[in-house]
Amino acid sequence: MVAAKERCPVCGKGTLHAGRVNEGLFGVDLGSFDAETCDACGESFLSSKSMDALESRAKELGLWGLASKVKVARSGNSLVVRIPSPLARYLKMKSGQEVLVAPDKGTRLVLELA
Ligand SMILES: [Zn+2]
């Protein structure tokens, strides 16, 4: 845990103050947690106790471990990205289901379920 009135390790200019911050994962609100927040850059640092609480909440909601690296494969002229089964179960995706695929900000891929 970061001590009160400590200098911000990110910007080096601000001072850290104890408070609560709202945290989310994959666009889902996980609630508010004890944290130290920088009064200059706004960066916040969760205590290890808060990190444990955040992880527990994410696990309760079935969100923990849903992000993973996958390889892009070729199929004919198209590229194929596998959706890992835990993610498919979370999204209730089914084989043969139609989805909308679109680029986002040049480096992201949005896959929207119908
Ligand atoms: Zn800062």
Looking at residue 2, its pLDDT comes to 47
Q: List the domain boundaries for the chain.
A: 16-60, 82-113
Rounded CA-CA distance 49/32 in Å is 13
Looking at residue 41, its pLDDT comes to 97
30-36: which pairs have CB atoms within 8 A and are 24 or more residues apart? 30/54, 30/57, 30/58, 30/61, 30/63, 31/57, 36/1, 36/2, 36/4, 36/6
Quote the pTM value.
0.72
Give, as residue ranges, everything with CB less than 5 Å from ion ligand 1: 8, 10-11, 14, 38, 40-41, 43
At residue 85, φ and ψ (nearest 5 deg) are: -60, -40
> What's the CA-to-centroid distance between 14 and ligand 1, angstroms?
5
For the chain, 114 residues long, the average pLDDT of each consecutive 10-residue run is 75 95 95 96 95 96 94 96 94 95 95 90
Looking at residue 5, its pLDDT comes to 77
Looking at residue 1, its pLDDT comes to 53
> What's the CA-to-centroid distance between 5 and ligand 1, angstroms?
12
